[in-house]
A and B are shown apart, each in its own frame.
Chain A
Amino acid sequence: MWARTRPAARAWPLAPARRGRGAARRLPGPLATAARAVLGLWLMVVLVALWWVLSRDSTSPYFPPLRAIVDRLVDLWIVGSAKAELVPSLEHFAVGYALAGVLGIVTGAVLWRLRWLREATSPMLYFCYVLPSAATLPALITIFGIGDTMKIMVIALAAVWPTLLNTVDGMKGVDPLKLDTASVLHLSQAQTLRWVVLPAALPQIVAGLRSSLQIAIILMVVSELVASTTGIGFFILNAQQSFAIIDMWTGIIVLAFVGTALNVIFVLIERRVLAWYYGARATQEAA
């Protein structure tokens, strides 16, 4: 199916390391952990060091010395007031993404229940899913103006589709045997949904939420690049347009860390919510 995203491959850095492999096998616990940490981090350290050294005497206006960028980053984002730019961005993101998630799961569940509606609307949904969402930005600006509402709607309307389609797909894939068991046990429809369908579909719903997350982050920035006077996206573009190249670089780096942080938070929640699923899968793989 076109909407299907693979359930998440185990994601660094929170994935449990596989035991008994390679050099780590012969080392006792703490040493093995240290060895893994070194193996995982040395390249990152080398690359950053290379950037630092190679850019040290850089006179290129576009690639200033990393040292200058870091100094400025501390001044602007840690000591200074630029971090206030993050507040509106993250607010829009949080509201828009939450809206997309709730709307996607609820609508997906309704479409799963009403097969005829699902079949009939599928070309419409497909069109919305593949339409590059940024293309609707000018239209949404015309409709909602250039305030907070527009930004939230841009994020929600773009991010809702992967969650919606994965919810439908995941619920369709529930083992019929489980549904039969539920009906034999006289579970009500609500109970079936809560205790049978939702858990079975959850891995795929989470995969959908993960795709939606990436889209929401992108649209959070894009909405600030077009018509805005606040937010991290605006900060970066404004710095670029006023040739404050070092400021622009600090914005890019901060945005990189924000993106990573949001993903890490997502994985943390995912591991908590889907702990039973990964546990069951690990048992299956080991057997």
Chain B
Amino acid sequence: MKALVWRVARVGARVGVVLAVLLAWQALSATGALPSQEFPSATGTFAALGRVLQSAELWHAIRDTLAGWALGLLIGASLAILIGTVLGLNRFAYRSAIPVIEFLKTVPIIAILPLAILLFGATLKMKFLLIAFGVFWPMVIQVIYGVRSIDPTVRDTARVLQLRGARRFAVVTMPSAAPFIMTGLRVAAATALVLDIVAELIGGGAGLGLSILFAQNAGPSEVTTMYAYIVVTGLLGVLVTGLFILLERRVLHWHPSQRNLRPQDVG
């Protein structure tokens, strides 16, 4: 009973804070503390949000953004899992490759955006290749560490049982590496979305980033539309991250890191 009261109070408090922020926003706009030219009122933004939600344009933009995000993530993550596993299983390959990978990981991916624009123009291909390149490096490191983190007892048991080849890969290597891979995937999903938006904003690829830019360029009258698009982008971020947290829990329900989650820790 007490737990229930606590939960209701918490949900109430959370909703309250969101409402309070929106109200404060509205009040600041109404009193003119926020210049309406640059920072529209909450009601204005949500009216614009209602308007764009009905326009086909928004849904096309969402589709274009998600297409680049999904393709890039798929290509980058698959390559990372494949190459990371190979590098993780062989000590010589691991020792040789890790300095190169650590170096390339620290290169700001944004640096190659102008090159990607030059090579592919403002296309879907430009977006997903940039994303694939961007998510590959951090992801491959996760996979390598995951493959190498195998419990010595498990490794020795597998050896005693003479597990080899595909069987060993499926029942020993992958389960050991899974938590690392899932963490890597969750981070990669968020990174991919950021790169996607940047590629649209600067590279001019179709999607939400470009829609935000167009709304900005349309001048003060469209400033509410710009904020509406930003809100939609944020919601997409919530959706994508939430999806991968769920996926992580689902796939790793057996793993200690996902067990014993107290309800108040799930946030």
| A interface residues, Cβ below 8 angstroms from B | 1-2, 6, 9, 11-13, 22, 39-44, 47, 62, 116, 119-124, 126-127, 130-139, 141-143, 217-218, 221-222, 225-226, 233, 236-237, 239-240, 245, 248-249, 251-252, 255-256, 259-260, 262-263
Residue B171 at the A interface, CB < 8 A?
A: no
* Contact of A130 (CB < 8 Å), options: B97, B107, B237: B237
* Contact of B106 (CB < 8 Å), options: A6, A124, A138, A263: A263
* Contact of A12 (CB < 8 Å), options: B102, B183, B193, B241: B102
A135 touches B267 (CB 8 A): no
- Which residues of A lie under 8 Å from residue B106 when comparing CB positions? 256, 259-260, 262-263
**Closest A residue by C-beta to B190:** A130
**What is the minimal beta-carbon distance from B58 to any residue of chain A, in angstroms?**
14
Q: Which positions 217-249 of chain B face chain A at CB distance < 8 Å?
A: 223, 226-227, 229-230, 233-234, 237-238, 240-241, 245
A6 and B220 CA atoms in complex are apart in Å by 44
Residue B10 at the A interface, CB < 8 A?
A: yes
Question: Could you jot down 26 A-B contacts, CB within 8 Å?
Answer: A2-B267, A11-B102, A47-B100, A62-B115, A120-B14, A121-B14, A123-B17, A127-B238, A132-B194, A134-B194, A134-B198, A135-B201, A135-B229, A139-B216, A142-B223, A143-B39, A218-B108, A218-B110, A218-B198, A222-B201, A233-B110, A256-B108, A259-B106, A259-B108, A259-B111, A260-B106
A9 touches B145 (CB 8 A): yes
A262 and B108 CA atoms in complex are apart in Å by 11
**Closest A residue by C-beta to B94:** A39
A134 touches B201 (CB 8 A): yes
Max count, chain B CB within 10 A of own CB: residue among A127, A138, A225, A251:
A138
A135 and B229 CA atoms in complex are apart in Å by 9
* Contact of A6 (CB < 8 Å), options: B21, B111, B183, B233: B183
A225 touches B241 (CB 8 A): no
A221 touches B238 (CB 8 A): no
Known: A62-B119, A132-B194, A139-B226. 16 other contacts (CB 8 A): A1-B267, A39-B96, A62-B115, A126-B238, A130-B190, A132-B197, A133-B194, A222-B201, A226-B202, A239-B114, A240-B115, A249-B115, A252-B111, A255-B107, A262-B106, A263-B106
- Which residues of B lie under 8 Å from residue A137 when comparing CB positions? 201
Q: Which positions 174-220 of chain B face chain A at CB distance < 8 Å?
A: 183, 190, 193-194, 196-198, 201-202, 208-209, 212-213, 215-216
B230 touches A136 (CB 8 A): yes
A130 and B226 CA atoms in complex are apart in Å by 18
Q: Given A135-B212, A252-B115, A1 and B194 touching (CB < 8 A)?
A: no
**Closest B residue by C-beta to A248:** B114
**Closest B residue by C-beta to A145:** B38
**Closest A residue by C-beta to B191:** A214
- Which residues of A lie under 8 Å from residue B145 when comparing CB positions? 9
**Closest A residue by C-beta to B193:** A132
A138 touches B119 (CB 8 A): no
Residue B60 at the A interface, CB < 8 A?
A: no
A252 and B241 CA atoms in complex are apart in Å by 30
Q: Given A222-B110, A225-B113, A130 and B103 touching (CB < 8 A)?
A: no
A53 and B79 CA atoms in complex are apart in Å by 26
**What is the minimal beta-carbon distance from B172 to any residue of chain A, in angstroms?**
21
**Closest A residue by C-beta to B35:** A143
A120 touches B17 (CB 8 A): yes
**Closest B residue by C-beta to A245:** B118
- Which residues of A lie under 8 Å from residue B216 when comparing CB positions? 138-139, 141-142
Q: Is the interface of B mostly helix, strand, loop or mixed?
A: helix
**What is the minimal beta-carbon distance from A285 to any residue of chain B, in angstroms?**
12
B233 touches A132 (CB 8 A): yes
- Which residues of A lie under 8 Å from residue B229 when comparing CB positions? 135
**What is the minimal beta-carbon distance from A5 to any residue of chain B, in angstroms?**
8
- Which residues of A lie under 8 Å from residue B151 when comparing CB positions? none
- For the complex of A and B, 4 pairs with smallest distance between CB atoms: A240-B114, A130-B237, A120-B13, A131-B234
- Which residues of A lie under 8 Å from residue B223 when comparing CB positions? 142
**Closest A residue by C-beta to B21:** A124
- Which residues of A lie under 8 Å from residue B234 when comparing CB positions? 127, 130-132, 135
- Which residues of A lie under 8 Å from residue B91 when comparing CB positions? 22
Residue B117 at the A interface, CB < 8 A?
A: yes
Residue B50 at the A interface, CB < 8 A?
A: no
**Closest A residue by C-beta to B116:** A240
A122 touches B14 (CB 8 A): yes
- Which residues of B lie under 8 Å from residue A124 when comparing CB positions? 17-18, 21
Q: Which positions 38-70 of chain B face chain A at CB distance < 8 Å?
A: 38-39
* Contact of B227 (CB < 8 Å), options: A11, A139, A255: A139
Max count, chain B CB within 10 A of own CB: residue among A1, A122, A239, A259:
A259
**What is the minimal beta-carbon distance from B146 to any residue of chain A, in angstroms?**
11
A119 touches B238 (CB 8 A): no
B13 touches A259 (CB 8 A): no
**What is the minimal beta-carbon distance from B131 to any residue of chain A, in angstroms?**
12
**Closest B residue by C-beta to A22:** B91
Q: Which positions 74-102 of chain B face chain A at CB distance < 8 Å?
A: 91-92, 95-100, 102
